[in-house]
Amino acid sequence: MHRLFQRHDISRLPDVEGTKPKKKFKTYPIGYFHIDIAEVWTDESKLYMLVAIDRTSKYAFAELHERITRRDAANFLRRLIDAVPYKIHTVLTDNGTHFTDPKGNMWTAAELRELIARQEAFRCHAFPLACAQNDIDHRLTKPNCPWTNGQVERMNRTIKDATLRRYHYKTHDRLREHLATFLNAYNFAKRMKALRGLTVFEFVMQKWISESERFRLHPDHLIPEPNI
């Protein structure tokens, strides 16, 4: 058998298809967001790009900041909440200091909700506080397992591929303008294989019809204003 393989230049048998099934993400209702921070550059200086993506609807939201603090991360979450027409029930972040105390010495969002309900005084990290105030479950990736937050890391690469790796930016404002244009195209025009050929907006509209109880307001407010 070995000589037969050598005669036909076959070094090993091919892997049998299906022996290593791909691990699938657990399915969740819309409102589960992955959030991350990436560094980007223009000719002016470094910027911090905050990115959020819904693991189910694929709705993407991003901002650029010249500096980033815990409070900035918390306010980014609040603006995300305002931008999304449906209820955000869960956010997943890494264990970075903008999102959590790396030593683990902090209240969880659930514990903070209890303190708020009892009207007790407390001091805490800004990001889990924003989660608690909006009844959001804050989950953290496992240490040394960055792939747990792979969806938002792929979104980071997608944004960079469409902007910084393709164009040169002299100013922060020019990059901000291009980022906004890209996000509009991504959310309203790009047809997603993961959504069975729908755009993000079309998928959200379908959920509005079938699961309206998850929505705070009608999704048509997402539609960008025309450029006049």
Q: 127-160: per-residue pLDDT in tens? A: 999 999 999 999 998 766 656 678 898 999 999 9
Supply the DSSP symbol for 225. Answer: P
Radius of gyration, CA atoms only, the chain = 21
Q: Is 26 helix (H, G, I), strand (E, B) or coil?
A: coil
Least confident of 5-14, 71-80, 216-225: 5-14
In 3D space, the residue among 83, 103, 92, 152 whose CA is nearest the CA of residue 127 turns out to be: 92
CA–CA separation, 221 and 215 (whole Å): 12
- Residue 109 is which amino acid? A
pLDDT band at 214 (very low <50, low <70, confident <90, very high): very high
Confidence at residue 36, expressed as pLDDT on a 0 to 100 scale: 95
pLDDT band at 180 (very low <50, low <70, confident <90, very high): very high
Q: At CA 201, angle to CA 200 and CA 205, rounded to 5?
A: 120
- Mean per-residue pLDDT over the chain, rounded: 86
pLDDT band at 22 (very low <50, low <70, confident <90, very high): low
| Residue 102, phi then psi, degrees to nearest 5 | -60, -20
Give tens-digit pLDDT for 39-88: 999 999 999 999 999 999 999 999 999 999 999 999 999 999 999 999 99
Confidence at residue 107, expressed as pLDDT on a 0 to 100 scale: 74
Confidence at residue 223, expressed as pLDDT on a 0 to 100 scale: 76
Report how far apart the first and last C-alpha atoms of the chain are (Å, whole number): 73
